[in-house]
Structure 1
């Protein structure tokens, strides 16, 4: 596999505080690499060094200078410009024709549910909306390497799912993606490799992939035994976990409406229904798999 970017003996120190040292990391073309670790340990700083925003104390970042980078920071500046002004100008810098630019912008406005805010100055937008602006900016143009620092920070579940779909499209185009995040679910869905910082050192971390991306989580009071028999026979993809006085169902999004209607017809109380994506969802299924 072709290595598109690597770091050589990379170290960064702020005054007397050493963030990390001797980072020798390899990033392969077309792969998505997640960077994980506690806050303040150097994940964002590593991305900034790679982006050329911060200069390392020691070491090098090695890549072809003709490669095109796009960078999504963890905090987007609150400017006087409005969303449309910023994104239109950035599209010009990316070399997009006016018609193509407008078509893409309309698509992303709808996708990330921001159409009603495009004329609002950025300084008045919430952190989650600013992060959407930052993501749209990065997705507009073509990237060889995409650097994403907490791209889902403050975003709603629908936007998270649409973000994942868009990144999956880029993966199919051989874009190399470096992803700094805390969401285990996002890592499981997108990452080919995970680097973790621990004790001021970066090391590769192996992670188990769980395919719950298209599941709806339904919690029911009691145990709908007859319905479960029917569902498990007709659709083996439904996963069922019984816990004391409730049942937790993981079912495909296409089956959700039918399952909910059947539960209601049989007078079962539905206490929760949401798309899989919360961190607690991941922790729950992870614990189930590890206990087997």
Structure 2
């Protein structure tokens, strides 16, 4: 199995706040989104762009994945944001308001032409009704390595705004949209992270929503406050007993006498070979988290 990158906790940091950018280097999030879009007022866009580019070039983020969220191409800041992000060479560039496959392919070509290093991936925000309806075709672009598409980010606040759905406890109104995107992401080998939880003072509600996202198949969750990181990391990491049982499944199926068996009984449970593949991923992500 190829190495996996933990994306349990993905924290938005406003690009216009120099102090926040410095603090980001010490926060235990798996990934940081240095934001030039929603978190930045129009009159602060230029300084935010300069500060974020300088911070990325300076480095010092350790093993954290560093992502720059640019403004959309149709905005007055989109072109300059993309050029600055490509030159800074972050781990990824997050493209907002993705609606069609062309948004991915054209942006991938643009950052290549702008000289973005090969390691810079594209992340795509799914936050419009059109994006949900086009989810499979958008994700299909990931089959072409030139697309650089690596991660989907759910923009649940914008989806609620655009569909007039209410964000109620349990997110009944969001489940269809979330599940469609999980299915599309899994079909094409792309990670997916859940939308934000707005009330960062409500730890119980936040934990419940993390658990829901995990159970839906999300790889992690986007966050709006550092105090959400620890709970998020805990929920989206495999539990110790889960990892131990996964290792046992792998070891049992790897025994010479079990090489051709499709199902085995382990600790009183019927386990199929597909569970061995799931177990390998569980162990791989646990090891990647430990390495962080």
On whether the aligned pair clears a TM of 0.5, the verdict is no
Higher strand share: 1
Structure of higher RCO (CA pairs closer than 8 Å, 6+ residues apart): 1
User: Bigger radius of gyration, 1 or 2?
Assistant: 1
Please report the TM-score for the alignment, with normalisation by the length of structure 1: 0.32
